[in-house]
Amino acid sequence: MTVDPNQIRALVEQPVEALQVELKTWLDPRTDDGISKIVKAIFAIRNRNGGFLLIGFDNATRKSDPYAFDQPVETLFHIDILQGLVSRYVSPSFEIEVAFVDRDGQSHPVISIPEGVQVPAVVRRDLIGQGGKKLLTEGDLYFRTFNSNGTASSARILPPDYADLLDVCFENREADIGRFLRRHLAGVGPAATLSAALGIESEESKLRKRAFDLLESGSTGASNAIAERATAEQLSRIGNALTMHVGLALDPAHPDALPTQEFLNKVSSSNPNYTGWPVWLDSRGFMEKLDRPYVNSNMWETLIIDLDGGWSEHVEFLRFDPRGEFYLQRVMQDDLTEKVAPGTALDVILMIYRVAEVLAVGTILGRSLGWGAQSVAGFAFRWTGLKNRALRPWVNAFRSTGGSGSISRSSGAEAYVAVPLETPGAALAPYVSTALAPLFSLFEGYQPSAELIETSVRKLIERKLDN
């Protein structure tokens, strides 16, 4: 599985419950009660197509719980012990990973559960606790699901969740021939072509316009928010930085939706957290109050400015509009790292990861927030700060992508792609390629290979990112 250690550290630094991330207080894997809770959580995450189980946190406050067991954390939660529990009670078997991350002087286990489930993980034997109470029952199937207030929980699967589970399994098997064809024949359909020929504004054209309108309104909102809060030094540092702007419009719009806590809970719980700093993240638990979301013009907004020289610096503006419109403006790592001089580089694979994550998270949010599988997400992209920048693999200098050293003479690029919400993450490569083509072509006509994009998208979805 080989999960990105930066992602693991970010999960512990900013723990948030989601459909693919669960927080548990300290559980004792030596007791029947602890075993049953650990097994249920791991199996539920596995059936939701993988994710993470963080041990030692209060899921209400997201703070560390005190550790009171008599053995070291690394001994009690050793991979051999946890893998043994999984293997003993699951059918079919799968492997997990365990990492230990320090927070506030306490080491926390982070259990990584792989994606790719094709057959659901089912309890294969009973576990009987004290007094004859049955804690695990042969044949039980657990699943991560939303409860009534929009937060995620692990529970025995109920009929409303059957469709989601089947979708997960079918997508991993690529058993749906119709979906398979749409994945590999992505492009403009005949209906859109006919509409254009007749001079009729198609639904796709309307969606495209909405997405680009979001770029304009979002950019204005970001500029105003940053100017109001940032210092002169910070403004100078990010003024010409490499920045990715994204406008996401979901079709059809939900004009009467309101920016409730339940809506934000669903956004947070649905985010698969593919990276250590996911797109459209929920910052309600951040220590800096100014970094937390607020409501403005019937939508949630967030401005995060962290340029204090910590382990990871960020400047990001986000909008979450329950009517079906999202905006993201992110200063890219290429200008917020000490590994390369600001204003000089663009890492090809890092940009592929970021665009793939935008498409994957955007489609997941659409499905989770009530848009049907036949709905479409329109993504408008804009990149600024490109002039005199060169393609350079600074994250990993040994990765070969071709085009290294190619320079852009243009200051910006734009792109648009429409993605059916039913598209699974593993099938996003053609859409990622379409979105990135206008950007990369500015660098002396550079075109990444289809294999490079396919491999990079797969690594993101499987959480096997290169360091």
Render 253-286 in DSSP notation, one character per residue.
Answer: --TT----HHHHHHHHHH----SSS-TT---TT-
Task: Say if 188 falls within a structural domain.
Answer: no
Q: What is the CATH number of the domain that holds 105?
A: 3.30.950.30
246 shares a domain with 115: no
User: How many residues comprise the chain?
Assistant: 467
E strand or H helix at 179: helix 177-184
Task: Say if 467 falls within a structural domain.
Answer: no
Task: Say if 190 falls within a structural domain.
Answer: no
Instruction: Compute the distance between CA of residue 412 and CA of residue 219 in angstroms, rounded to an integer.
Output: 14
Give the predicted TM-score (pTM) of the model: 0.78
Could you report the per-residue pLDDT of 222-265, keeping only the tens digit for each? 999 999 999 999 999 999 999 999 999 999 999 999 999 999 99
Residue 172 token pair: 């991993």
What Å distances lie between residue 44 and 84, 312, 319, 451, CA to CA?
17, 31, 30, 33
Sign, CA dihedral 258-14-74-4, equals positive
Q: How many domains does the chain have?
A: 2
157 shares a domain with 288: no
454 shares a domain with 307: yes
320: amino acid identity, one letter? F
212 shares a domain with 117: no
Residue 440 token pair: 């990369």
148: amino acid identity, one letter? S
Could you report the per-residue pLDDT of 288-336, keeping only the tens digit for each? 999 999 999 999 999 999 998 766 899 999 999 999 999 999 999 999 9
Which residue segment(s) compose the domain that 158 sits in? 5-173
Task: Say if 49 falls within a structural domain.
Answer: yes
The tens-digit pLDDT sequence of the chain (467 residues) is: 567 788 888 889 888 888 899 999 999 999 999 999 999 999 999 999 999 999 999 988 888 999 989 999 999 999 999 999 999 999 998 999 999 999 988 999 999 999 888 899 999 999 999 889 999 999 999 999 886 556 788 999 988 888 889 888 887 775 344 445 444 544 444 444 444 444 545 677 899 999 999 999 999 999 999 999 999 999 999 999 999 999 999 999 999 999 999 999 999 999 998 998 999 999 998 989 999 999 999 999 999 999 987 668 999 999 999 999 999 999 999 999 999 999 999 999 999 999 999 999 999 999 999 998 789 999 999 999 999 999 999 998 777 788 889 999 999 999 999 999 989 898 999 999 999 999 999 999 999 999 999 999 999 998 888 65
238 shares a domain with 141: no
Domain finish residue from 155, 173, 191: 173
